[in-house]
């Protein structure tokens, strides 16, 4: 039987996004030397919300890109399902920039490891930070920790975290599936 | 969209379906971006070994495959029959099995005999990419040609493409016809009737005997090389006469009152099928074809690597 439980509703998500934006502003001020890089496919929606909110608050356009990590993953040919790349949009140099990587869920840390590799062809960043909406802190395979966290949850491997973030804020919702 | 190829080997376009071709094109879009980055390499195939077996001369296809393999971080070994034990009488299967004993995962093969790669796929346990088998098929060339048309026009459906020249001896023509028809294009061929296969119309293509009529009809002309090395008997009187009747030059293009795109799989016999002013003009997307060739071959290698058992 599949049992599902809501972790965050749309109002809570909105409060968290607002808080993350202010934490980012604390460290990046006007974002003139910062590039926000979302990980495809699911980091993109989270990043869009954050970028929209940031641009409203600081009044500047923010440099951003969407990174596909398929070719850098460490599980190529180990999955039964082939890994299909996503359309990348990285018309931005990260050379000497402060980069903030955004993803929806931090789980094993392997995607973030791949993302750091995938980022290097676009220049040598001054620094890289990590922002995630959900941190499944008990499931890490690699020594990778986020700098900005929406919510920390304790979950086991058989559980699944589903992040539904849409342009329509009212439908936003994060659930955990237990099987 | 399907996210896996329906085939384990790329032996010819006729074994693919439409969703395979679209998957290859979409994957190639990603690789095209990667080969235009400052760092043009990804680690996807770093645990894969690829043998390029060329039993027939090739410059561009071999280089294109080799660079695609290296950009994917594969280990590459090259073999050409001119400097090998094939000259001592070794059979194809023996040669390939010896190479596979060195733990090769993917074989890229060009061979003068039609069907050589199909034969190989039935007898060995490695993924095979046909890089040209005699006068039969050259699937990656057809894919990169169609991809280049898609890049320039956005879509291939209902575009009119004429293949000009030595269709009889051309594996590029056959693969192109299969590929473009599957993508919904209208295809015609044009050239001396002695250089047309007998049953060409059964493939659903039009035939033009006059170059001017063909060019007036088409949006794109894919011009083939006259393959002097494959002609046992003389099929047209002289190269000069061929160039006069079927050579594309500035005069004939200027007389059309419309823009057409010129493609050529290379190598060009300048002054025979194309004059230099056309080959180097803005009509020509010949060098785009070469660049897209690397992206297409990276996509094919990447997708077939998922099939390694």
Q: Are B111 and B135 in contact (CB under 8 A)?
A: no
DSSP secondary-structure letter at A82?
Answer: P
Size of interface A-B (CB pairs under 8 A): 52
Q: Are B165 and B269 in contact (CB under 8 A)?
A: no
**pLDDT tens profile B242-279:** 999 999 999 999 999 899 999 999 889 899 999 999 99
pLDDT band at A179 (very low <50, low <70, confident <90, very high): low
B43 at the A interface (CB within 8 A)?
yes
Domain A27-71+84-157 matching CATH 3.60.20.10: the answer reads no
Say whether A84 and B43 touch across the interface (CB within 8 A).
no
pLDDT at A72: 93
Taking CA atoms, what residue in A is nearest to B24?
Answer: A84
Complex-level ipTM beyond the 0.85 threshold: no
Q: Which helix (H) or strand (E) holds B60?
A: helix B60-71
The residue count of chain A comes to 179
d(CA B246, CA B212): 9
In this prediction the pTM is 0.87
Higher-confidence position of B130 and A79: B130
> Comparing C-alpha atoms, which of B172, B165, B152 is closest to residue B196?
B165
DSSP structure class, residue B235: -
Structure confidence by residue, pLDDT tens digits, A59-86: 989 999 999 999 999 988 887 788 888 8
Give the architecture (CATH level 2) of B13-136+290-305.
3-Layer(aba) Sandwich (3.40)
The domain segmentation of chain B, as residue ranges, is 13-136+290-305, 139-285
- Read off the pLDDT of residues B189-246 as tens digits, 9 standing for 90 and up: 999 999 999 889 899 999 999 999 999 999 999 999 887 766 666 788 888 889 999 9
User: What's the CA gap between B118 and B230, in Å, rounded?
Assistant: 22
Taking the CA of residue B18 and the nearest CA in chain A, the distance in Å comes to 17
State the pLDDT confidence band at A141, using cuts at 50, 70 and 90: very high
**68-87 of B, contacting A, C-beta below 8 A:** 72
Q: Which helix (H) or strand (E) segment is A65 a member of?
A: strand A63-67
B11/B142 Cα distance (integer angstroms)? 12
Instruction: Please indicate whether, in this complex, the C-beta atoms of B43 and A82 are within 8 angstroms of each other.
Output: no
Contact A133, A174 (CB under 8 A): yes
Q: Which of B106, B109, B115 is nearest to B134 (CA)?
A: B115
CATH 3.40.630.10 fits B139-285, yes or no: no
Q: Is the pLDDT of residue A1 over 70?
A: no
Say yes or no: A161 contacts chain B, CB-CB below 8 A.
no
Query: In the predicted model, is pLDDT for residue B12 greater than 90?
Result: yes
pLDDT band at A98 (very low <50, low <70, confident <90, very high): very high
> Closest Cα partner for B305 from B128, B119, B42?
B128
């Amino acid at each position: 039987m599949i049992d599902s439980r809501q972790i965050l509703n749309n109002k809570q998500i909105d409060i968290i996004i607002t808080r993350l934006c202010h934490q980012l502003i604390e460290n990046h001020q006007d974002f003139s030397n910062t590039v926000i890089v979302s990980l495809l496919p699911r980091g993109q929606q989270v990043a869009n919300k954050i970028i929209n909110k940031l641009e409203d608050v600081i009044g500047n356009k923010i440099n951003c890109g969407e990174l596909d990590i398929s070719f850098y993953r460490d599980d190529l040919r180990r999955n039964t399902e082939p890994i299909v790349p996503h359309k990348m949009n990285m018309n931005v140099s990260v050379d000497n920039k402060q980069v903030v990587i955004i993803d929806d869920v931090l789980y094993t840390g392997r995607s973030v490891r791949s993302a750091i590799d995938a980022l290097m062809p676009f220049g040598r960043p001054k620094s890289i930070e990590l922002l995630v909406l959900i941190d499944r802190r008990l499931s890490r395979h690699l020594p990778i920790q986020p700098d900005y966290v929406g919510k920390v949850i304790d979950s086991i491997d058989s559980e699944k975290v589903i992040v539904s973030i849409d342009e329509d804020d009212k439908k936003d919702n994060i659930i955990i599936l237990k099987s | 969209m399907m996210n896996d190829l329906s085939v384990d080997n790329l032996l010819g376009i006729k074994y693919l379906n439409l969703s395979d071709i679209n998957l290859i094109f979409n994957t190639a879009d990603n690789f095209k971006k990667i080969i235009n980055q400052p760092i043009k390499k990804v680690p996807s195939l770093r645990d894969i070994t690829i043998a390029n077996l060329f039993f027939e001369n090739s410059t561009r296809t071999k280089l294109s495959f080799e660079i695609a393999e290296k950009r994917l971080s594969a280990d590459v070994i090259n073999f050409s029959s001119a400097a090998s034990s094939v000259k001592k009488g070794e059979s194809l299967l023996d040669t390939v099995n010896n190479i596979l004993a060195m733990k090769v995962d993917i074989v890229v093969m060009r061979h003068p005999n039609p069907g050589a790669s199909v034969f190989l796929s039935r007898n060995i346990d490695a993924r095979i990419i046909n890089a040209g088998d005699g006068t039969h098929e050259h699937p990656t060339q057809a894919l990169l040609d169609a991809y280049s048309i898609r890049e320039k026009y956005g879509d291939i459906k209902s575009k009119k493409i004429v293949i000009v020249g030595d269709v009889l001896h051309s594996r590029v023509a056959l693969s192109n016809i299969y590929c473009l028809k599957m993508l919904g294009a209208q295809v015609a061929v044009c050239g001396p009737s002695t250089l047309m296969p007998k049953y060409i119309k059964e493939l659903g293509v039009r035939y033009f005997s006059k170059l001017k009529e063909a060019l007036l009809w088409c949006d794109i002309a894919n011009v083939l090389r006259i393959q002097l090395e494959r002609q046992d008997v003389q099929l047209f009187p002289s190269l000069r006469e061929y160039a006069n009747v079927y050579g594309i030059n500035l005069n004939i293009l200027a007389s059309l009152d419309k823009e057409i795109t010129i493609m050529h799989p290379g190598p060009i016999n300048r002054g025979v099928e194309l004059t230099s002013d056309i080959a180097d003009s803005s009509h020509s997307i010949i060098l785009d074809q070469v660049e897209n060739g690397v992206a297409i071959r990276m996509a094919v290698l990447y997708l077939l690597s998922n099939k390694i058992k």
